[in-house]
Amino acid sequence: MIVDLRSDTVTRPTAGMRAAMAAAEVGDDVFGEDPEVNALEAEVASLLGKEAALFVPTGTMANQIAIAVHTRPGDEVVCEASAHPLHYEAGAPAWLSGVTLRGVAGQAGLLPVDGAAACFRPDNVHFSPVRLVCAEDTSNRGGGTVYPLELLDGLGDLARGRGAASHLDGARLMNAVIASGVPAARRVAAFDTVSLCLSKGLGAPVGSLLAGPAALIHRGRRVRKALGGGMRQAGVLAAAGRYALRHHVDRLADDHRRAAALADGLRALGLGARPPATNMVYAEVPDAAAAVPALEARGLRCLAVSARELRLVLHLDVDDAGLMAALYG
């Protein structure tokens, strides 16, 4: 038995999701004629309390569209030092938007308001103007950590007060919703735009959305086209996302419970493991690079994220039996 804990992106569509995909009514989304896509965009805009939403293939594209519509070449974007756009998006902000990202050291991946505030400098030709503040909820490299609501509000207020925009990378936003008990629209209320990934944790095979003011989303649609993200009969994918939002949100609590049990089990086996905030467990080992193939030989897949740390992510395809197999083989 192979237990794959590399990421919550490795899930396969459930039988119910496959049925929804097969039954999807489709049209050409580039012409705005796919009913499933239109319904998904409307549902997510409502869920997040925003005027409009845009369906895109990936979370990286959603983030990059947000950066593009909020900035101009030469601008600066402030984010936490471990943020996804800084580490895992192939330098796209520089490639696509001509902006630089400034990483601010935070605790457990959380961008501090005072650290972000310090990045705003006087209006001077020598300095890049900060036009965008980005946060990531939950924080991946921070350990799946959940932003306190007052910190989210503080970052949005800071950006607004300094004449900048704000974007929330909500790749795993619904994990934060379940862990905090705070509805999605309230969590993202202070941010101009927010992305939501359907294939991380929620179990859809493909897709993310960018939500925000209708005018910005209209501009984002043009950027999506320029990036090659204009999809045609995308309703089969949108149907998977709509199914995920109806059926796979509340069950995220199971992933969080199993992550806590996994961390407890690892500590009982003599390994260091941070208490997880959501579905991610970061375990300390003497040699992470050597541990990955050794664990795979025992039937457990995970990722090395540093010289002495492994990341193990609980998800839809790992039940209690899989958890026990991960711990004890």
Distance CA 274, CA 280 (A): 9
Number of H helices, E strands in the chain: 14, 13
Distance CA 143, CA 108 (A): 7
Nearest alpha carbon to residue 158 among 99, 211, 115: 115
Residue 1 pLDDT exceeds 90:
no
**pLDDT exceeding 90 applies to what percent of the chain?**
98
Give every CB contact of residue 254 below 8 A, 6+ residues apart in sequence: none
Give every CB contact of residue 243 below 8 A, 6+ residues apart in sequence: 16, 17, 20, 21, 204
Give every CB contact of residue 226 below 8 A, 6+ residues apart in sequence: none
Helix, strand, coil percentages, rounded to 5, for the chain: 40, 20, 40
Name which CATH class applies to 15-247. alpha beta
E-state strands within 46-86:
52-56, 76-80
What is the domain partition of the chain in residue ranges? Answer: 3-10+250-328, 15-247
Give every CB contact of residue 306 below 8 A, 6+ residues apart in sequence: 288
What CATH number does domain 3-10+250-328 carry, 3.40.50.300, 3.30.457.10, 3.40.50.720, 3.90.1150.10? 3.90.1150.10
Tens-digit pLDDT profile for residues 104-149: 999 999 999 999 999 999 999 999 999 999 999 999 999 999 999 9
Tens-digit pLDDT profile for residues 174-221: 999 999 999 999 999 999 999 999 999 999 999 999 999 999 999 999
Alpha helices, DSSP H only, in 162-271? 173-180, 184-187, 214-226, 235-247, 252-268
Distance CA 285, CA 212 (A): 42
Return the structure tokens found at 171: 């790749």
Nearest alpha carbon to residue 273 among 258, 254, 260: 260
Question: Taking residues 31-46, what's their average pLDDT?
Answer: 97
Distance CA 111, CA 145 (A): 11
Residue 329 pLDDT exceeds 90:
no
Give every CB contact of residue 150 below 8 A, 6+ residues apart in sequence: none
